[in-house]
C-alpha cells in the first residue's frame, strides 16, 4: 500500500499544495517564494528520504510568516494522511546531527498528540531576509497537524544558518527512522491498539 498523500490548502494568505511519499528516495521539487526556506525544505526531504513536492504562493510582501507557517500545517497534514493507521511503523526515534559548530537533537513520537518542544536559541534575528523565529513557527504547525510529539534541542551552535539547517536535518533523520516499517511490528505500535 502506498504511503503517500497530496494536500492542498488555500486561504486569503496562502495557496499551498504538498505531495509527500514516505517511501521515496529524497527527491524534491520545492518552490515557496522564500529562498532560505526552500533550502531547508530540500534538506528535510533529502535527509528523510521522503519524496517531497511543495508549491506555495503567499503574501510575502507582508512577510514570510504566513507562507512558512502554512507550509508546516499542510506538510503535517500530508504526513498524517500518508501514515494512515500507522501499522508497522517504528514510532519512536531520536537523532543528533552535527553541522560544523552546531549540534541539534531531534526526537519524535508518532503519538497522535501533536506537540512541539523547541529549545533552539538563535542570537541572530535573520539569515539573509529569513526571520530565524520562523523555524519554530514551521515546526509548531508541522508537529500539531502531523499528530507527532517533536522535541528539537540545540546542544551547540553559533551560526544561525548552521543551527537552523542542523535542526531541519535532525528532524528529517528522525522522521525517516520513526516512519520506517519495522518487520517485527504487527499492527499499531501501542498497547492501546491505536495512535
Residue 195 clears pLDDT 90, i.e. is over it:
no
- pLDDT tier for residue 192 given thresholds of 50, 70 and 90: confident
Q: Which three cell numbers stand for residue 49?
A: 528520504
pLDDT tens-place string over residues 111-154: 999 999 999 999 999 999 999 999 999 999 999 999 999 999 99
- How much is the pTM? 0.96
Neighbours of 81 (CB within 10 A): 15
Judge whether 91 and 178 are in contact, CB under 8 Å.
Answer: yes
pLDDT tens-place string over residues 90-119: 999 999 999 999 999 999 999 999 999 999
Domain membership of residue 185 (yes or no) is no
Q: What is the span of the domain harbouring residue 75? A: 4-179
Q: What is the mean pLDDT of residues 48-68?
A: 97
- CATH number of the structural domain spanning residue 78: 3.30.230.40
Three-state SS across 8-36?
EEECCCEEEEEEEECCCCCCEEEECCCHH
Domain membership of residue 184 (yes or no) is no
Domain membership of residue 188 (yes or no) is no
Number of domains in the chain: 1
- pLDDT tier for residue 191 given thresholds of 50, 70 and 90: confident
| Nearest CA-CA partner of 111 in 143, 80, 147 | 147
Amino acid at each position: 500500500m502506498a504511503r503517500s498523500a497530496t494536500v492542498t490548502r488555500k486561504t486569503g494568505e496562502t495557496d499551498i499544495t504538498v505531495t509527500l511519499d514516505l517511501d521515496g528516495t529524497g527527491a524534491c521539487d520545492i518552490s515557496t517564494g522564500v529562498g532560505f526556506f526552500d533550502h531547508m525544505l530540500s534538506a528535510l526531504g533529502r535527509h528523510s528520504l521522503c519524496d517531497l513536492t511543495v508549491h506555495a504562493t503567499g503574501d510575502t510582501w507582508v512577510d514570510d510568516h504566513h507562507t512558512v507557517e502554512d507550509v508546516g500545517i499542510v506538510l503535517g497534514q500530508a504526513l498524517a494522511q500518508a501514515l494512515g493507521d500507522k501499522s508497522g511503523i517504528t514510532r519512536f526515534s531520536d537523532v543528533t546531527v552535527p553541522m560544523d559548530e552546531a549540534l541539534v537533537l531531534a526526537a519524535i513520537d508518532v503519538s497522535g498528540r501533536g506537540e512541539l518542544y523547541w529549545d533552539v536559541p538563535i542570537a541572530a534575528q535573520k539569515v539573509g531576509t529569513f526571520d530565524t523565529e520562523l523555524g519554530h513557527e514551521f515546526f509548531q504547525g508541522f508537529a500539531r497537524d502531523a499528530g507527532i510529539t517533536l522535541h528539537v534541542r540545540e546542544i551547540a551552535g553559533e551560526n544561525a544558518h548552521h543551527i537552523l539547517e542542523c535542526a531541519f536535518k535532525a528532524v528529517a533523520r528522525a522522521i525517516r527512522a520513526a516512519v520506517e516499517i519495522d518487520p517485527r511490528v504487527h499492527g499499531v505500535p501501542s498497547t492501546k491498539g491505536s495512535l
